Amino acid sequence: MLLANREVAHFFSKTASKAGGKLQFIYRTHDVPNREKLERLGVFVRALGHELTLRKDGSVNGKDLQVLFNAIEGHASESLIKTAAVRSMAKAVYSTLNIGHFGLAFEHYTHFTSPIRRYPDLLVHRSLFAIQEPHGVDPGKMSRLERMAADATQKEISAAEAERESIKLKQVEYMQERLGAQFEGIISAVTEWGIYVEEKETRSEGMVKLRDIGGDYYALDEKNYRIVGARTKKTYALGDPVRFKVAGADLERKTLDYRLV
């Protein structure tokens, strides 16, 4: 599948070059990640006891990330690090400007193999057919591809947001039926007002407010991704395993409240 997508994109690129830039085609592109985001990711990964090696220019490539993913496989923090890594990457988009695909390390890439479920793939098929027509390609029709590519990218973003919202809704529904039940989880984020805990099996994330953690007054140690008790010096850090109970579930806001046990 990847090979087919790459070869079609390569064919498009050569055809466009021969036409002197008069023809446009749709590519699936993925820009290099932002350096500041990578540096923050490195700090985040280090706080969880692992290491992401950045190159001298502050960049990484797919092999560097794979080394990290291999190292964290099976660890409790695996899902946290992979989620953070994805958020640190640029968004893959559809475009008529071919800048390559960072994530796949391909110079040319498009979506070609699934025209029955993705509209950009159908547009790619139509472009291939148009190239083979005796009368050639209509540059006027090709000029609309950038707008279509932008629309396809926006629809993809909207679909991903809807998917996330529906998953969160079902997670809240699930926990709403289990108020008071206890679960195992992992601290997924720390803030000045509380810690977020992700349940191990369903990955349902909820908040434990600092004021609800008994026995001490806790404050955020932002640099070390943890909260620290003022009197006892007890800490709760990013990636720590915890046991909690479900204290509240708000379907309208799609939020969960947890309490440590």
The pLDDT tens digits for 185-216 are 999 999 999 999 999 999 999 999 999 999 99
Q: Residue range 167-174: average pLDDT?
A: 98
Task: For 55, list phi and psi in degrees, rounded to 5.
Answer: -75, 175
Q: Which CATH class is domain 178-260?
A: mainly beta
Binned at pLDDT 50, 70 and 90, residue 137 comes out as: low
- pLDDT for the residue numbered 61: 85
**Does position 136 have pLDDT exceeding 70, yes or no?**
no
Q: How much is the pLDDT for 139?
A: 65
Mean pLDDT of the chain: 93
**What is the b/e burial string over 161-192, where b = at least 16 CB atoms within 10 angstroms of the residue's CB?**
eeeeeeeeeebbeebeeeeeeebebbbbebee
- Whether the pLDDT of residue 10 is over 90: the answer is yes
Q: Where in the chain is the domain with CATH 2.40.50.140?
A: 178-260
pLDDT tier, 135 (very low <50, low <70, confident <90, very high otherwise): low
- Residue 155 or 17, more confident: 155
Residue 254 CB partners (closer than 8 Å, separation 6+):
165, 168, 169, 172
Question: Alpha helix (H) ranges present in 110-193?
Answer: 119-131, 139-142, 145-176
Question: φ and ψ at 154, to 5 degrees?
Answer: -65, -40
| Model pTM score | 0.84
Q: For 232-254, how does the pLDDT look when each residue is reduced to its tens digit (9 = 90+)?
A: 999 999 999 999 999 999 999 99
CA 117 to chain centre: 21
- Sequence length of the chain is 261
In sequence order, the 6+-apart residues with CB closer than 8 A to the CB of 196 are 187, 188, 189, 190, 205, 206, 207, 208
pLDDT per position as a tens digit, 11-70: 999 998 887 777 889 999 999 999 999 999 999 999 999 999 888 888 898 888 999 999
The token duo for 6 is 């790459």
Residue written as token pair 């707008």: 147
